[in-house]
Amino acid sequence: MAEEEIAMARMSLDEDGGEDVDEDSMHVFVGHDEPVVSIACYSALVATGGCDNRAFIWRIGDEAPPLLLQGHTDSVTALAFSGDGLLLASGGADGVWIRWHPHGHVILAGSDFSSWMWNADSGVFMTMFVGHQGTVVCGSFTPDGKLVCTGSEERFSVWDPKSGACIHGVKQNVNCLALSNDSKLALTGSSCGLVRLISIQNGKVRFTSSSIIESSSYCAAISPSLALAATGGQDQKLVIWDFYHSFSPRLTCEHTSGIYKLVWSCNGEQVFTGCEDGKLWQWDARSGACLRTYRGHGESIQGMAVTSDGQFLVSASDDETAQVFFVGTS
């Protein structure tokens, strides 16, 4: 990429107009030539990956040219900063997801029917987790770093990261996965809309939802501070669940299109959703009130993240941009 092109690929207000949508974003990053499908942030640093085989690193509030990351020969579909922000991992079209160990430079990634673990400092391969019969679409270390959980088209599995052995397995379709802060429970969503609560300790299904979810569940997340969880999907409904007690649906928040992504605010009291129509929503998780909608994207949202200070929401979209919104939550 020529230097003058890189200089143009900076965080800037998009004056070209593009789609006829309202502009609520404070910055628009226009460095990609095709849909932006992955995004990650650490403090004010933002990384974006696109279907143009490129990734960039840029800083919120800094007009300096972004750093272009070269090397991929296919879409950059997964990005993740390490817990200390010193390392960034990127995955191509065959790498569906990436997660870091919560306490060190060990990385977990999923592709095809297996998951892999490496030491990121040395590049040494550590363990391979094999046993799924379908594509592994999501996974994570437990927050205490002791176990690995993965989900595929046909199975939820819990693994020993030291030996690579499967400890528990539940036969079910998994589209999305979230783990409780105490490392005891897993929340899963499926293509048929069922939401399940599973014990990580013994592999037993503690709860299976009724028909409240009417189509595929695309995203799930657990509040970092409240006893609440959230799921969203194609049926245009954000469901807030009473997580630790009855695990019952507490609130249902209607949208105008399918929900592709969701993320909790840093204080765990609000939920942000990103939708098929490009709109972003901010919800009070206790009351279910819509606090605000954010416009700026002309096509569907493919990635979302909140900065660690809770001040900014960053989003990636099929409209070939990444955008920054001031949300001002603590």
Q: What is the pLDDT of residues 55-106, one digit of tens each?
A: 999 999 998 999 999 888 889 999 999 999 999 999 887 665 788 888 889 9
Range in 13-22, 114-123, 129-138 with the lowest mean pLDDT: 13-22
Q: What is the pTM of this model?
A: 0.89
pLDDT at 178: 97
pLDDT recorded at residue 192: 86
Beta bridge partners of 329: none
Tell me the pLDDT band of 290, cut-offs 50, 70 and 90.
Answer: very high
Please choose, from the candidates 105, 87, 106, 89, the residue with its C-alpha nearest in 3D space to the C-alpha of residue 97.
89
DSSP state of 66: P
The count of other CB atoms within 10 Å of the CB of residue 116 is: 18
For the chain, the C-alpha Rg in angstroms (whole number) is 19
Distances (CA, A) of 65 to 184, 204, 286: 44, 51, 41
Residues with Cβ within 8 Å of residue 35, at least 6 apart in sequence: 50, 51, 299, 302, 317, 318, 319, 320
pLDDT above 90 coverage of the chain, percent: 70
Q: Which of 16-30, 101-115, 212-226 shows the lowest mean pLDDT across its residues?
A: 16-30
Question: Domain 96-211 adopts which CATH fold?
Answer: Methylamine Dehydrogenase; Chain H (2.130.10)
Domain parsing of the chain, residue ranges: 96-211
Phi, psi of 253, rounded to the nearest 5 degrees: -115, 115
6 backbone dihedrals φ, ψ, rounded to 5°: -65, -40
Q: Which amino acid is at 191?
A: S
Give residue-wise pLDDT tens across range 206-260: 999 875 566 788 999 999 999 999 999 999 999 999 988 788 899 999 999 999 9
